[in-house]
């Protein structure tokens, strides 16, 4: 809080001039009073990366890169903006582990998994014919797909009563949407405006069809690098257990239409600060708003692994320079980074929402940082036989065959 001596004198002058102006009505004075009295819950938190950490990451990435090159069979491969950005959002302790003992296939699974995941999240669908046209669309892949369908009854049944056809597509649940709408009191959780839109935290498209679900499952390996194996297992149950499995109220928030669109463009993201018990049945989940629009380059552009290149990728747009903003409906005050909003829901559902927000926080920053949010069509095409995604998938199939042979299975 600023002292009297620290207050800009021009602010006093502007305030006095506003009050003395003939055009200032009583209503304008009331609105100003609301603006001045409004005090949002807020916590400053810088997203800047310390120089020492940048230098350590450069050293670690320099050691990881040769293994990735061997996997690709490209001795001169230079990291792309999306690949370097992925390595920058991985927590430092996990990046150290990746450098220390991760095989080349794990590194490729992490880097390309993030890219394919973001492509699907931003475009809403994978390229057509992802399984049919792929050079890896072998009988083995098809058998795995059929086995997964047979294991989950919800993916086999059509929406029509008595239908015996295999369900390959999910439709948005109006019931779950209404649950989220009621929970958030029909209002945008950020601005407070009523008649808000119900938005998915992680896109509905990630598992809306059998094809998308398979892509999400194969591309989700980077979650291990970000959060650990146990976290990926939990996320897997929520994200790619069955068609439409994340179309639930715990994966939804109410936002106004403009924020809904800006969220899809990675102009901002929510960070989960934690969960606290509210009563015997419910918990409060605190989510923090961040304007994070970054000046990324083309996602497939080649970048050097240097402190300077990292600084360029991490250079964000300060809120004061943004050409867009949101305002609180009750006060007219602009929404700032660091503001905290509370969602109340049942204990188990709060844990599920936290997982959704954690993943959203990672992939939205990654999309903005790398330029993927501006050009998702330039990200790795899972349908391309020469893509890293397909190279990883081929090695995965080879490994499965080796395991079967080891156990004497055909």
- Say if residue 340's pLDDT is above 80: yes
259-262-264 Cα angle (round to 5): 115
Distances (CA, A) of 347 to 196, 250, 252: 25, 11, 16
pLDDT value of residue 395: 52
Q: What are phi and psi of 161, to 5 degrees?
A: -60, 135
pLDDT value of residue 312: 82
Distances (CA, A) of 37 to 45, 226, 267, 330: 23, 41, 28, 11
Neighbours of 19 (CB within 10 A): 11
Average pLDDT over residues 1-15: 71
Average pLDDT over residues 128-144: 40
Nearest-CA neighbor of 290 among 375, 199, 365?
A: 365
Neighbours of 111 (CB within 10 A): 27
Distances (CA, A) of 135 to 70, 86, 212, 387: 21, 27, 18, 11
- Say if residue 297's pLDDT is above 90: no
Tens of pLDDT along 357-372?
999 999 898 888 877 6
Q: Which residue has the higher pLDDT, 100 or 231?
A: 100
3-state secondary structure of 103: coil
Tens of pLDDT along 165-214?
455 677 888 999 999 999 999 999 999 999 899 999 999 999 998 888 88
pLDDT value of residue 15: 80
Average pLDDT over residues 41-53: 83
Q: What are phi and psi of 148, to 5 degrees?
A: -65, -40
Average pLDDT over residues 86-104: 90
3-state secondary structure of 50: coil
pTM of the shown model? 0.76
pLDDT value of residue 372: 65
pLDDT value of residue 135: 37
Rounded to whole angstroms, how far apart are CA atoms 355 and 297?
29
């Amino acid at each position: 809080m600023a002292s009297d001596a620290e207050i800009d004198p021009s602010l006093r002058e502007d305030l006095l001039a506003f009050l003395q102006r003939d055009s200032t009505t009583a209503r304008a004075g009331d609105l100003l009073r609301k603006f001045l009295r409004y005090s949002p819950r807020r916590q400053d938190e810088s997203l800047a990366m310390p120089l020492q950490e940048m230098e350590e990451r450069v050293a670690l990435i320099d050691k990881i890169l040769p293994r990735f090159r061997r996997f690709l069979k490209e001795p001169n491969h230079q990291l792309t903006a999306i690949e370097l950005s992925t390595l920058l959002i991985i927590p430092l302790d996990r990046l150290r582990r990746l450098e220390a003992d991760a095989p080349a296939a794990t590194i490729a699974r992490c880097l390309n998994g993030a890219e394919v995941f973001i492509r699907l999240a931003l475009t809403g669908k994978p390229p057509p014919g992802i399984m049919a046209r792929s050079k890896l669309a072998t009988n083995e892949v098809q058998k795995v797909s059929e086995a997964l369908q047979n294991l989950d009854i919800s993916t086999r049944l059509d929406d029509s009563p008595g239908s015996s056809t295999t369900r390959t597509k999910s439709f948005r649940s109006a019931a779950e949407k209404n649950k989220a709408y009621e929970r958030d009191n029909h209002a945008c959780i950020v601005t407070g405006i009523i008649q808000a839109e119900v938005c998915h935290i992680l896109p509905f498209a990630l598992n809306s069809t059998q094809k998308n679900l398979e892509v999400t499952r194969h591309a989700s390996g980077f979650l291990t690098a970000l959060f650990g194996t146990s976290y990926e297992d939990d996320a897997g149950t929520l994200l790619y257990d069955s068609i439409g499995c994340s179309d639930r109220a715990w994966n939804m928030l109410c936002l106004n239409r403009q924020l809904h669109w800006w969220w899809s463009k990675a102009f901002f993201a929510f960070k989960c600060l934690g969960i606290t018990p509210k009563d015997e049945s419910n918990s409060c989940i605190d989510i923090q708003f961040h304007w994070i629009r970054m000046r990324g380059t083309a996602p497939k552009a080649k970048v050097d692994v240097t402190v300077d290149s990292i600084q360029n990728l991490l250079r964000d747009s300060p809120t004061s320079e943004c050409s867009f903003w949101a305002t609180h409906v009750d006060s007219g005050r602009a929404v700032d980074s660091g503001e905290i909003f509370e969602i109340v829901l049942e204990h188990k559902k709060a844990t599920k929402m936290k997982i959704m927000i954690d993943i959203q926080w990672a992939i939205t920053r990654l999309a903005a940082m790398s330029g993927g949010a501006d050009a998702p069509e330039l990200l790795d095409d899972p349908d391309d036989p020469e893509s890293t995604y397909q190279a990883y998938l081929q090695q995965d199939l080879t490994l499965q065959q080796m395991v079967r042979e080891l156990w004497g299975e055909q």
